[in-house]
Amino acid sequence: MVRAVTPTRHPKAKGPSPGSLPAVLPEPAFHDPKHHITIYQGDCLEILEKIPEGCVDLIFADPPYFLSNDGITCHAGRMVSVNKGQWDRSPGPDRMHDFNRAWLAACQRVLQPNGSIWVSGTAHVIHSVGFAMQQLGFKLLNDITWVKPNPPPNLSCRYFTHATETLIWAAKNKKSRHTFHYRLMKETNGGKQMKSVWPFYPPSAGEKRFGKHPTQKPVALLERILLASSNPQDLVLDPFMGSGTTAVAAIRASRFIVGIEAVSQWNSLSLSRIVAELVFVQISVDLCGASVDRSSGHKLQERVSTPLQLVQQERKFYFVGTNQREVIYSIAAESLDDAWRKFHSTAHAGKEVLFVIKTETEIYLAQGK
């Protein structure tokens, strides 16, 4: 059971704990003390002002781009609207810059002296972010160009195809001695210095299996950022959590995470992804195993008095090979026929299958204290 309590930090972590202000910080929407994951739902400015000063090691922020202007774009070969929601509507350049300066100042306050921040954006917002950083005294370190190898085509044919986003990396101030794992990045890059142009494909279908967020970032991009500019057990903050990609990357990289998201729909999506990342199920195929009597089992809701929330439901098929006595292919599908069709369209189609295992998984989050 995961209890919603005020977050605390690992004993090895630097700086004060958000838990030092239990009467001020709101109750988290999700808190896992074992893995040091805390998610708040609400306005990031209101929550950031209640987090103690100087307790965060690294911040990744993907703020609104303010590009919902009733235009069109291409998605999956179809013409679709670029509008993402009222939160992405531009309030005008002056108010947009005031907003960017406000949340950046709030983030700067909670950063520890040697902490750093990454901000992602397109041309609609990133220039305002960079100028606000200069006004606030951040130390600009790099501007990274994220290149998308397969961008959607430009339907109007009046512009170059939009194939990049910019990430600005900055330290808290001019005195900061920021973390940078140069050798690791060089090794990752095949023994050569890593450049500021990073090609990453957009999130795969697997990363969107619990739902789609309009500005979702690929996990691989966040993993590189965390590995390059933070240490294991560092506290990472994401003030615009969205679909929870930063949390997924933090779990994989053994970092602690605090996320803030205003929209309940995206918090639910984050929760599904986080729980799925924490739950590891290993299937063992034993043809001679002893039978197990499960007839005395009761329904989960009858055995647990705590109110439960269904956060993941999945039907999956595992194909076990005749020669390779192991799972050679797995797929989430609605039926066995559907799974077979998908199997025959893969490179595994020529392999002999001994049998197929179907699993139906439901993961519940206990809501009680």
* The predicted structure's pLDDT at residue 19: 39
Domain membership of residue 286 (yes or no) is: no
**361 and 250 inside one domain:** no
Helix axes 245-252, 219-229, angle to 10 degrees: 50
Domain membership of residue 13 (yes or no) is: no
State the Cα–Cα distance between residues 369 and 357, nearest whole angstrom.
36
* The predicted structure's pLDDT at residue 305: 58
State the Cα–Cα distance between residues 35 and 10, nearest whole angstrom.
9
For the chain, give the number of residues.
369
Average pLDDT over residues 151-179: 90
Q: Considering Cα of 119, then 121, then 123, then 128, what sign does the dihedral take?
A: negative
Over pLDDT 70: what percentage of the chain? Answer: 78
* The predicted structure's pLDDT at residue 78: 57
Domain membership of residue 146 (yes or no) is: yes
* pLDDT tens per residue across span 224-254: 999 999 999 999 999 999 999 999 999 999 9
**182 and 124 inside one domain:** yes
**44 and 155 inside one domain:** yes
Closest Cα to residue 273, out of 324, 219, 318?
219
The number of folded domains in the chain is 2
Tokens for 61, please give them: 């922020």
Determine contact, residues 117/107, Cβ cutoff 8 Å. yes
Domain membership of residue 11 (yes or no) is: no
* pLDDT tens per residue across span 47-99: 999 999 999 999 999 999 765 455 545 455 555 544 455 545 666 789 999 99
* The predicted structure's pLDDT at residue 3: 30
**pLDDT tier at 184 (50, 70, 90 boundaries)?**
very high
The pTM assigned to this predicted structure is 0.72
* pLDDT tens per residue across span 123-153: 889 999 999 999 999 999 999 999 998 887 7
Domain membership of residue 234 (yes or no) is: yes
User: In angstroms, what CA-CA distances link 255 with 71, 245, 249, 326?
Assistant: 38, 13, 8, 33
State the Cα–Cα distance between residues 83 and 81, nearest whole angstrom.
5
Domain membership of residue 12 (yes or no) is: no
Integer-rounded Cα Rg, in Å, for the chain is 23
Give me the DSSP letters along 203-216. PPTGGGTT---TTP
* The predicted structure's pLDDT at residue 79: 52
The domain boundary, picked from 278, 313, 338, lies at 278
**94 and 242 inside one domain:** yes
**253 and 321 inside one domain:** no
The domain boundary, picked from 248, 278, 308, lies at 278
Closest Cα to residue 276, out of 202, 362, 215?
362
State the Cα–Cα distance between residues 196 and 350, nearest whole angstrom.
43
**170 and 63 inside one domain:** yes
Least confident of 49-58, 182-191, 344-353: 344-353
Domain membership of residue 110 (yes or no) is: yes
Beta strands 197-199 and 164-171 are unpaired
State the Cα–Cα distance between residues 244 and 213, nearest whole angstrom.
10
Domain holding 310, by residue range, is 300-366
**307 and 250 inside one domain:** no
Average pLDDT over residues 255-270: 94
**184 and 252 inside one domain:** yes
* The predicted structure's pLDDT at residue 77: 53
CATH code for the domain in which residue 259 is found: 3.40.50.150
**265 and 309 inside one domain:** no
* pLDDT tens per residue across span 266-316: 999 999 899 888 875 555 555 455 545 444 444 444 444 567 888 888 899
**pLDDT tier at 11 (50, 70, 90 boundaries)?**
very low
Q: Give the number of other CB atoms < 10 A from CB of residue 302.
A: 8
* The predicted structure's pLDDT at residue 368: 54
Mean pLDDT estimate for the chain: 83
State the Cα–Cα distance between residues 119 and 14, nearest whole angstrom.
23
State the Cα–Cα distance between residues 256 and 240, nearest whole angstrom.
16
Determine contact, residues 254/233, Cβ cutoff 8 Å. yes
Closest Cα to residue 195, out of 142, 117, 238, 244?
142
Determine contact, residues 5/33, Cβ cutoff 8 Å. yes
**263 and 312 inside one domain:** no
CA geometry: angle at 221 spanning 99 and 111, to 5°?
45
Token pair 């790099």 is found at: 142
**233 and 361 inside one domain:** no
State the Cα–Cα distance between residues 86 and 166, nearest whole angstrom.
23
Token pair 């595994």 is found at: 348
The domain boundary, picked from 278, 310, 336, lies at 278
**207 and 336 inside one domain:** no
Average pLDDT over residues 198-223: 91
pLDDT beyond 80 at 352: yes
CA atoms in the 13 A half-sphere facing the CB of 59: 33
CA geometry: angle at 42 spanning 38 and 48, to 5°?
70
3-state secondary structure of 56: strand
Domain membership of residue 4 (yes or no) is: no
The residues, ordered by sequence, that sit 6+ positions from 301 with a Cβ below 8 Å of its Cβ are 308
